[in-house]
Structure formats: structure tokens, C-alpha cells
Amino acid sequence: MGRPRLYHTPDEKAKARKLKDKRYYEKHRETILLRSRKKYSKDRNLAHSQSQSHKRKRKNVCTPHKTPSPSQDILDQLELMDKSLSDLTAQPSFYSSVCDESIRVESLQPIEDKLSLIEDIFQPSHELMATLLQVDGIGSRWKHAEAIHQRFQDVICRLDDILCYGMEGIQVLSSMYSSGQLLYQS
């Protein structure tokens, strides 16, 4: 013999289901609310990003323009770095003024300051060069970027030469500077 029926009409079944759902909700209220909040946040962010991309798409359709390639962006960044280097070292007396300042204050600090400044500008170029090589390969952009990279290395090498003589002593640096034997003087 089977179990006796608890609910005989569809109305009784619906009422019992409602009570069961209510008990479940009261027991698991926090987790349900947390799940709802997460879903709402996710849906809202998704809708926002889709509306933004829709706006961007419409803008691009209305005003067509050619977007620069990633390799051109990298080259533009390297050219900005090169401009910064040129602004620092453009005057013909750049290296002389660094030597004069170090000799005058009898310290290597002016050389180290300039070297540090240039190395800070130069630092991101290694990653940019690697990315450019991956994106574009060896071509005209790579060769242009390599020339910029070489200019940085030349300036750093000349400042390192001045620093090395200065580390031997300010008098040694002074005599090498006076006799015109520093790397930048040749």
C-alpha cells in the first residue's frame, strides 16, 4: 500500500509549494542575495561595456579613420624618447658642462645625475624594441628604432667614460678633459 496523498487539488499543491519555497528562502536568504548581487553587477557591467562598444562602433562608422598599427605606436613612443634625449644633449657643450660641473664641485654626482636621468628615459626601450620585433619583424621601422636605441647607447657610453675617469679621481678626470682624451672629445 502506498503513501496517502497530502494534497488533493492543484490549489493545495501550489500552496504547499509556496510554503516550501518560503522556508528554503528564509534558510538560504544570504547566499541567494549574494548570488543575485553578483549576477546584477555582472549583467550591469556587461550591458555598460556593450553600450560603450556600440557607441564606439557608431563613432567609427560616422567618422572613418585609419587606426595606427601597434608597430607605429611603438615607434612613436621611441621617437618621443629620442626627442627627450635630443632635448637633453642638443647643446654641443653638454658633455663639457657635465665634466666642468663635476670638476668644479669635486664630485661625481653631476655625472651620475645625468646618467641616471638618461637611463630612466632609456629603460622602457628594451621592452618596446622586443615588442616591435615580435609585431613587425626586421624592417624599416625596426631599423629606425634601432638607430634611436643606438643613440641612447652612445650617450650612455660617453657618460660612462667620463664617470670611469672620475672614479679614478677628479684630478684624473680633469687631466683627461684638459688633454682632450675623453671619448666624446675624439
pLDDT tens per residue, range 106-128:
888 888 888 888 888 777 777 77
Q: What is the pLDDT at residue 186?
A: 77
Last residue of a domain, one of 40, 62, 84: 62
Last residue of a domain, one of 62, 81, 105: 62
| Other Cβ atoms closer than 10 A to 110 | 19
132: nearest Cα among 66, 79, 70: 70
**Structural domain of residue 56, as residue ranges?**
10-62
Asked if residues 86 and 153 have their Cβ atoms less than 8 Å apart, the reply is no
- Verify that 58 and 144 share a domain, yes or no: no
**With bands split at pLDDT 50, 70 and 90, how would you rate the model's confidence at 179?**
confident
- Verify that 51 and 75 share a domain, yes or no: no
pLDDT tens per residue, range 7-60:
899 999 999 999 999 999 999 999 989 998 888 888 888 777 766 655 555 554
pTM of the model: 0.57
- Verify that 19 and 48 share a domain, yes or no: yes
- The Cα–Cα gap between 129 and 27 comes to 60
Q: What is the pLDDT at residue 16?
A: 94
**With bands split at pLDDT 50, 70 and 90, how would you rate the model's confidence at 129?**
confident
Percentage of the chain exceeding pLDDT 70: 88
Instruction: Average the pLDDT over each of 121-125, 162-166, 167-171, 174-178 and give the range with the smallest value.
Output: 121-125
- The Cα–Cα gap between 83 and 152 comes to 11
pLDDT at 90 over 80: no
Could you tell me if residue 21 is inside a domain?
yes
Q: Which carries the bigger pLDDT value, residue 129 or residue 67?
A: 129
- Verify that 86 and 166 share a domain, yes or no: yes
Computed over every residue of the chain, the mean pLDDT equals: 80
- Verify that 84 and 158 share a domain, yes or no: yes
- Verify that 181 and 132 share a domain, yes or no: yes
Could you tell me if residue 1 is inside a domain?
no
Contacts of 129 (CB under 8 A, 6+ apart): 78, 145, 146, 149
Q: In the chain, how many domains are there?
A: 2
